[in-house]
Amino acid sequence: MNIVIVGHVDHGKSTLIGRLLFDTNSIPKSIFEEVKQVCEELGKKVEFAYLLDSLEEEREQNVTVDTTQIFFKTSNRSYVIIDAPGHKEFLKNMITGASQAEAAILIVDVNEGVQEQTKRHAYILSMLGLKQVIVVLNKMDIVNYDKVKFNKIKEDIIKFLNKLNITPKYIVPISAIKGDNITKKSKNMPWYNNLSVLEALDTLNTKETLSNKPLRLPVQDVYKIDDKRILVGRIEAGKLRQYDDIIFFPSNKKSKIKSIEVWNKNKKEAQTGESIGVTLNDPLFVQRSEIICSHPLPKITNKFEANIFWMSNKLININEKLILKCATQETVCILEKIKKKINSSTLEIIDKNCDNLQETEVGNVVIKTEKPIVIEKFINVEGLGRFVIVKNDDTVAGGIILK
């Protein structure tokens, strides 16, 4: 199960991740020993957040550990934490990555309560359609594990999340540092009668499979190996069998799947989420950006309505030229209309029918593309319903397609 951990800076994301890795024995012993030694030399207690830093360092030195994807396991299943915090471009990673997440942990410092980034991150979760949210109220040790304090912040967060149509599945009082209510119920909070963080995670549902939907396989690349042409890509929806009839969209070229190949081995069938190569019965000329489809075909259009989150510090005006990337497609586009813009922290509508968007504002916009592109609504097929906007090689916005 893919999860993201979000929350205001310093509320304890890194510490919680370090703790989750440590308590589930997911961290190499050598790394923990090293961190322990450094902490002792500095006369400090072991900081779990350092575990994450040292993983990051290791990643920078060589590629043994990838902190953009951190793994841990319970007896129930495996988890991947995508977009570990601490990365400079956390918000950007979150927007471009969170839509792959199936659940989120929103962490709030019980002393500080709901802060600006708590709200902003929650907003992004809701915008990306992430409904399975566990809230953890951290640093309970500092407030002497006080139930009254917990209940007060719990109420605030519920009130805010309800405005976003998010009902948290659990609200867990924790101390990431001390390990309270992480793997099992803590004796320090006998008044809390619900699940620990890991127990709560284990109750969540994995994403409904898109395998029963029509096939959507964006062509990422075409390789020529000897006289074979292999088309590669990730199946965003549907499944594919050998000998299936397929249609390339938008070119409308038709063929039949001759073989499905993964690392030079043949497969009879492949499902949503798999990255595969295919060969065809016919020697068609197709390029990156075409989508291999089955009926009913997706929409092709040069205009659609979307919600975008603007994350560049330079404002954007309507009609300015931008690059839109959706799956493997790429085209010039403009914001033709900004129907309304929203403050992503307070959720207030700032303006309607306006001319520009500024950093951290969410726009409900109409986008016009130069080339027609193949899209789906985000709620139907995420892989063809989300996109990023690039300006001068910098990702400046992420968005989801509404209609």
Give the residues lining the site for ligand GDP (CB under 6 A): 7, 9-15, 47, 49, 85, 138-139, 141-142, 175-177
Question: For ligand GDP, which is the closer residue by CB, 13 or 377?
Answer: 13
- Identify which of 356, 288, 278, 284 has the alpha carbon closest to the alpha carbon of residue 316: 356
Question: For ligand GDP, which is the closer residue by CB, 143 or 222?
Answer: 143
Beta carbon of residue 176, minimum distance to ligand GDP (angstroms, whole number) = 4
Question: For ligand GDP, which is the closer residue by CB, 197 or 324?
Answer: 197
Question: For ligand GDP, which is the closer residue by CB, 141 or 244?
Answer: 141
Q: Which two tokens stand for residue 75?
A: 């007896």
Beta strands 78-82 and 2-7: pairing type? parallel
Q: Which two tokens stand for residue 257?
A: 């799947």
CA dihedral 114, 117, 118, 124 (to 10 degrees): 150
Beta carbon of residue 187, minimum distance to ligand GDP (angstroms, whole number) = 16
Beta carbon of residue 135, minimum distance to ligand GDP (angstroms, whole number) = 14
Beta carbon of residue 53, minimum distance to ligand GDP (angstroms, whole number) = 9
Beta carbon of residue 19, minimum distance to ligand GDP (angstroms, whole number) = 8
Query: How many whole angstroms from its chain centre is CA 115?
Result: 21
CB 312 within 8 A of CB 397: yes
Beta carbon of residue 372, minimum distance to ligand GDP (angstroms, whole number) = 43
Question: For ligand GDP, which is the closer residue by CB, 6 or 388?
Answer: 6
Q: Which two tokens stand for residue 239?
A: 């499944």
The angle formed by the CA atoms of residues 130, 136 and 140, to the nearest 5 degrees, is 170
Amino acid (one-letter) located at 285: F
Beta carbon of residue 10, minimum distance to ligand GDP (angstroms, whole number) = 4
Residue 145's contacts (CB-CB under 8 Å, 6 or more residues apart) are 173, 175, 180, 186, 188, 189
Question: For ligand GDP, which is the closer residue by CB, 5 or 276?
Answer: 5
Beta carbon of residue 65, minimum distance to ligand GDP (angstroms, whole number) = 18
CB 111 within 8 A of CB 142: yes
Alpha-carbon separation of residue 275 from 30, 120, 157, 328 (angstroms): 34, 33, 39, 13
Q: Which two tokens stand for residue 341?
A: 């813009």
Whether a cis peptide bond, with omega within 30° of 0, leads into 250 is yes
CA distance 166 to 203: 17
Question: For ligand GDP, which is the closer residue by CB, 117 or 294?
Answer: 117
Question: For ligand GDP, which is the closer residue by CB, 140 or 334?
Answer: 140
